Each structure stands twice: as structure tokens, then as C-alpha cells.
Chains A and B, each alone.
Chain A
Amino acid sequence: MRREENVAATQGIEFARLSLREALDLAIAIEEEARDRYREFAEQLTAHHTAEAARFFEHMARIEEIHRSQLAERREALFPGERPQPMRERIFDVEAPEYDAARAFMSVREALEAALSGEEKAYAFFVRAIPLLESTEVRKLFGELRDEEVEHQDLVRAEIARLAGEPGGRDEAYSDDPVAQ
């Protein structure tokens, strides 16, 4: 089910004809989108007095920026000075958690679960895209990126397991139902 959602989350990308340069541009755009989403979440949660989860999302934003810059360096080494293809406008929430994953007063555990959903979506995206690719080198790149998503998932899952004993339910965070003021 998730895989199909992810195919729908791109527009106008012909995977069969994707060149290595375009594939790198796409991968960079995916990391950039995730970075920006985590930054937005951090800002939202800071504004809504949810400091711990905000710090976690800031941390995630830094990680995504590291991934983005590593890919950008690799691209520059392979295709020095070549203008990037505009890929950002063609993707929708590939690795970025969806907007409704954030909530005021969410716990760090819930924030981790939001991040895990992003990593799972990205993994499903690469799994689905690989059979559509014709270029061997793009397949290799996407295979590499898919495997990295598995590593990221394992890291997030380990952290969730570490926090298993801590409270995390959204309902627990509310002392009362919202009321008119």
C-alpha cells in the first residue's frame, strides 16, 4: 500500500530514462525535502512549547543535511559544474514525514515514530523505483540508497526501543480537553 502511495508522490519523472545525473539530483531533492520538513517541524514545535521533540527534529534536519551534502559532493565530482535538474517540484513527501505527523505536545518517542515513517516511505520508494530503471549505474545508486534507508530505520527503531518504558501517548500529554476561552 505504501509503495503505491510513493509512486503517486512523484510527478513527471520517467524512471526508465533516468540518467545518473538526474538520479543524483532526485536523491538530493529527497534529502532536501526531508531536511526542510524536519526544520519546519522543529519550528512548529518550538512555537507550541514542545521543546524536546523540537530538538529531536532539529537533529534530524542536521542528519538530512549531511546526507544531502554528501550526495551533492558526489554529484559535483562526477558532473562538475553541470546545472541540476529541477527535481524538488516533482516530489511529494518521499522521505519527509507528512505534515500531519507532527502534533503539539508530542513526545520524543512519537517524534521518532514520525521519523521512522519517513525512513520507511523512502525505502519503499527506492524498492518500487528500482525495477523501473534501465540504467545499471542508476540501479546501483538507488540500491545503495535503499540499503541506507534500512540502516536508518534500524537506528531509529533502536532508539524507540530504548524509550519503550517512557510515556509517549498524545492523550497523556493533555491535562484536559481543549475548551473555549
Chain B
Amino acid sequence: MNNLCADIGYRSLIKHGEQLCGDRVMICPQGEDSTVIVLADGLGSGVKANILSTLTSKMISTMVAEEISIDECVKTIAATLPVCKEREVAYSTFTIIRLVNNEEAEIIQYDNPFVILLRDGKCYEFPKSEMIIEGKKIYTSRVKLHEKDIFIMMSDGVIHAGVGMKLNFGWERKDIIPFMETFYEVGFTAKTLTTILLDECNRLYDKRPGDDTTVCTIRIRKREPMNLLIGPPSNEYDCDKMMSLFFAKEGKHIVCGGTTSTIASNFLGKPLRPVLEFSDPDVPPIAELEGVDLVTEGVITINKVLTYAKDYLETNETYAQWGYKKDGASRICRMLFEEATDINFFVGRAVNPAHQNPNLPINFNIKMRLVDELAECLEKMGKRIKVSYF
């Protein structure tokens, strides 16, 4: 066992004029530390391609997860996929990465662009062995995982970006590599790296992709715990208990809420200093408190974080905002989305009498719902979440 985990993020651009994507990414966790990731690209586009790639990815991920040999998997797929009437073939290309105990990656590739592995800031061309199954050329590899490895899986829409428009031969793999190498050290999440690569494809396609274009990025990283405290406990005698449990936790500490941070400040015996800077007019300022990594206001800030989190799970268009801005919400986003892998929420259920004013758009139920929704979003990002109520 090691302390590594995988941060996985994917997204697709749909071929211009189509409603459905013909590429499909499927992630199939096996226990705590193993995962099967499949990227399948169905022949053609639209409904037909969508069905082919969905069937292929679902079948492969299930079979590989059951440790059925790749030979068997490919034969089964070839035998079961519906045959396209026009072309008389049943066809879906695929890339499979199976992470075993977060120690090793087994990579199986059929006709998609070869996986790019970035290691120590450079592309590492890992060895592949070729085998022929049912007349199909399949490449398999085994790679030991290193911390900070980045695997990039792609459908051919990526390397075809810009064909005959901005680039003669499309965006070749050898040119994509240096483009992605420049982001290696920044610490972007897998989802953000995916977005960066897809945005560039979309630009090369003049925003009218000529093919379904999919990227799935896997980032191997150390587990990083993070703790977030919001709201005073419902029983004020529990303050000390809540604070001592919170501050005993390993990892960074975020405190949200005016009253809550005052309690934390009393507990730590250090002064709380609000910083009178409004970097984002919608988000109240942050404060400084020795012993706490970040102090912010509560409900309004968390509400903004939730908005960013929801977008992150969709198109991730706002990463350009939360990725660098200095307001409390953006800072929380960077700490939770980028830095953390394991997040402990300490939620106090006290009702703030000041917030029960019907003229204010905040109340107790909203606060509780915000935390629940945020925890749910973070779980979808692949983080381990624990919520404790006081």
C-alpha cells in the first residue's frame, strides 16, 4: 500500500450539429484503491456511435473489473456489438487504463491516439507490446505509478483538431505533448487539464468540432487531508469539544462564518483580523487568524463555492476565475478542488438569530442544504468526504 490516489477528470466536445456524443468515458472503481477507466470512440457520430461506445465501454469496464483476459474481452465485444448496416462493421476503438492498488497501471489500447504519460515534466514513452486479437492490433503495457504522473487519454477528435482549417494535418500528438508539458508543474486538477486541452481543440476547430472530441486525464497524487469548519454548535457548551476535535485533525484548516471564526479565535487565544479588501464584490472579505489557513465569511461565500463546484462538474468554464482570484470563495475552491483529496466537514447546527430575518435571503435551512450539496459535489469530484454535525 502507498499514499497515492488518482484524480480523474474527463469531458467531451460534441461534433458540430450533433446532439449526442459518440465517445464515452466510463470509470469503474474496484474497492478503495483500484479503478478501471475506459474511453471508447464509436464508429461514426450521433446515436449510432453513442450506442456503440456506450456498449463497448460498459462491457469492457465490467469485464476487466472481473479480471477477464483482454483477449476474451475483445472477442466478446466483436461478437456482440451490433453491426453497422452501411459499413458492415461493428466498431468502437478504446483505451483502457486499469489502476491496480494505486501502484501500477495496466494500459490497453486499440486504435485511439496513444496515451500520453507525463512524468517529471516530460513525456515518457512507455514500452508497449503488440498482440493481434480477431484481426485487431492491440497494444498492452504495464507501468509502475509514480507520484505526479499524468496520463492523458484521447479520442481521435483531439489529433484531428484543425484539419484543413488552422492546421494541415490536424493537431499531431507530437505537438500536443509540448503543449501539455507546460502545465505539468502548475498543479491543475485532472478536470482542469482536460478543459485546457479541449479548449485548445475547440479553438483549432473554430468552435465547430468536426468530430466528437474527448479527453480523460488521470493525475497520480498523494492523499491530502483538509478540514472545514462552518457554524457554531447547536449547544454552546460543545464549542470547546468541536474546536479541539477540529484542530486535532491533520491537514489544513478552513474556518467559515463570522461567529464561528470568533469562537475559533477565542479557542486559539489569537486575534481575528478581517482584511478589508473586496477582490470580488459578491464575496465578503476574508480574515487572518494565526493557526488557521483560511478564514472566510459563511453562507454567501459557501454559496459561491457551490456555484463554482457545480460548474466544475459540468463544463468547468469558471476555473479561469476561481483558479487565481483572491476572494474567499476562490481560495476555498483552490484548497478543496485542487489541493485536497480527503475533506472533513465540521458543521455546527446552531441557528443564527440574525439570519432569521425574513428580509434576508439566508436562513438556517439554506445553510444546511449548502453544505450537503457541496459535500455531494466534492464526492462527485472523487474526493473522500466526512461530515460531522455538532
Q: Does A pair with B? A: no
Interface residues of A (CB under 8 A from B): none
Interface residues of B (CB under 8 A from A): none
